[in-house]
A = this chain, B = another copy of it.
């Protein structure tokens, strides 16, 4: 133990490069050379509880693997963003021109350049975020387009299966043993038409089961169904009634419900209360709330989420401005899914030492470290978010015990059924001890070096 604390403090003192204070896009290469980061990469991380499936696989992998499948078409929509699809008769995605065949197009250009450009369209990375994203709207605009552009292509059955397998691999490679994925009420499709929603889930389930078989220490995933807060009222009505069905019929796969979209421009949760209260009989809520810099406006979603008895709070950035809600959250043990890098990239905070997660940590608010849509800022897994958590959000004096607490929180506050939770905790304990043993033996981390 002492070895790790020392190693951490060595790295803390090394913060003259000050990556903890920098924008992630500028600090990435510094972080990757940091000993603390290398340590965190090896650390078992338990569960990833706030993760949008479509933003969870690196764009490079998607380009190399999905976009080479025959039949992929592309168009450019009115926001000048590419939209990909495998549908033979794709509906126009508000496209400015007709669809082109990606493989044909690639042949007629320099393939490498073509792929690079396409990958960049699904990654927010830029070396100068302050210039390219001057406002929250510019970056959210691109963020939303990225989900939209991938949506159709990734719901093509062969693509979806490969994608989900890779998603699990990327989690696994970062020592994550379990995930709760935010997905929309999707239907997969093939050349021959659409599967129904239940079949679609079962297809992904097969992938998960196969993955678990090949990786026995992986505990699988659960799904949290999401709908866009900005949907039309009649669409919402339909989603709600579907949801009631599926949660009953697949309670081991679907664990809950959430509403998504840019909080600042959408309606408050309160406006959907009547339907949500009705849903709450059978459905656990995992609401996004308080992902905003507003104070006395959008942030009041936090009030709504708590009143609607949410099981966890997604992002919860605005929480420390509400001491009364903080108290309630602590008393009722409603964990906050804290996503440091997401909050930074999506323009809520620049220097992560100002992230409200510091206040949550200081006040012992239950929290889990999450990564939101990591692929969209070019990373996999939770290690980078843990880096900022321990280097920017936590006190200099916080070390291994803080990390362990946060990692174990991610199982404690998961939606796993009790039995599985116990197993997961046992497995995590084992992984943790193994990790400590390995670190102690590892000459790279040996402080006497």
A295, B21: Cα distance in complex, Å: 12
Tell me whether B351 and A296 are in contact (CB under 8 A).
Answer: no
Stretch at the interface among A280-288, A334-342, A391-399, A404-412: A391-399
Q: Answer whether residue A359 sits at the interface, using C-beta atoms and an 8 A cutoff.
A: yes
Tell me whether B395 and A295 are in contact (CB under 8 A).
Answer: yes
Interface residues in A276-335 (C-beta closer than 8 Å to B): 293-297, 320-323
List chain B residues, Cβ under 8 A from A157: none
Residues A396 and B18 in contact in the complex (CB < 8 Å), given A130-B130, A320-B359, A359-B359? no
A359, B319: Cα distance in complex, Å: 10
Q: Answer whether residue A231 sits at the interface, using C-beta atoms and an 8 A cutoff.
A: no
Tell me whether B135 and A296 are in contact (CB under 8 A).
Answer: no
Tell me whether B296 and A395 are in contact (CB under 8 A).
Answer: yes
Interface size grouping (class) on chain A? 20 to 34
Q: Answer whether residue A438 sits at the interface, using C-beta atoms and an 8 A cutoff.
A: no
Tell me whether A323 and B130 are in contact (CB under 8 A).
Answer: no
The closest CB in chain B to the CB of A18 belongs to B135
Q: Answer whether residue A358 sits at the interface, using C-beta atoms and an 8 A cutoff.
A: yes
Q: Answer whether residue A354 sits at the interface, using C-beta atoms and an 8 A cutoff.
A: yes
A363, B353: Cα distance in complex, Å: 20
Q: Answer whether residue A57 sits at the interface, using C-beta atoms and an 8 A cutoff.
A: no
Tell me whether B353 and A350 are in contact (CB under 8 A).
Answer: no
Tell me whether A296 and B359 are in contact (CB under 8 A).
Answer: no
Q: Answer whether residue A362 sits at the interface, using C-beta atoms and an 8 A cutoff.
A: yes
Tell me whether B398 and A296 are in contact (CB under 8 A).
Answer: yes
Number of copies: 2
A233, B242: Cα distance in complex, Å: 75
A327, B231: Cα distance in complex, Å: 44
Chain B nearest CB from A22 CB (Å) reads 10
Interface residues in A194-231 (C-beta closer than 8 Å to B): none
A108, B350: Cα distance in complex, Å: 46
List chain B residues, Cβ under 8 A from A130: 130
List chain B residues, Cβ under 8 A from A359: 320-321, 359
A321, B354: Cα distance in complex, Å: 10
Indicate with 1 or 0, residue by residue over A182-194, a CB within 8 angstroms of chain B CB atoms.
0000000000000
Q: Answer whether residue A349 sits at the interface, using C-beta atoms and an 8 A cutoff.
A: yes
List chain B residues, Cβ under 8 A from A348: 351, 354
Tell me whether B295 and A396 are in contact (CB under 8 A).
Answer: yes
List chain B residues, Cβ under 8 A from A394: 295
Tell me whether A293 and B323 are in contact (CB under 8 A).
Answer: no
Interface residues in A91-148 (C-beta closer than 8 Å to B): 130, 135
Interface residues in A353-385 (C-beta closer than 8 Å to B): 353-354, 356, 358-359, 362-363
Tell me whether B353 and A293 are in contact (CB under 8 A).
Answer: yes
The closest CB in chain B to the CB of A320 belongs to B359
Tell me whether B354 and A297 are in contact (CB under 8 A).
Answer: no
The closest CB in chain B to the CB of A398 belongs to B296
Chain B nearest CB from A246 CB (Å) reads 38
List chain B residues, Cβ under 8 A from A398: 296
A166, B396: Cα distance in complex, Å: 45
Residues A297 and B396 in contact in the complex (CB < 8 Å), given A135-B18, A354-B349? yes
Residues A296 and B397 in contact in the complex (CB < 8 Å), given A135-B18, A321-B358? yes
A204, B350: Cα distance in complex, Å: 43
A14, B294: Cα distance in complex, Å: 14
A396, B396: Cα distance in complex, Å: 34
Tell me whether A353 and B18 are in contact (CB under 8 A).
Answer: no
Chain B nearest CB from A299 CB (Å) reads 9
Give the most central of A21, A135, A321, A348: most B CB within 10 Å: A321
5 nearest A-B residue pairs (beta carbon): A296-B396, A296-B395, A350-B350, A293-B353, A296-B397
| Extra 6 A-B pairs, beta carbons < 8 Å, given A130-B130, A293-B351, A295-B394 | A21-B293, A293-B353, A296-B395, A296-B396, A348-B354, A354-B354
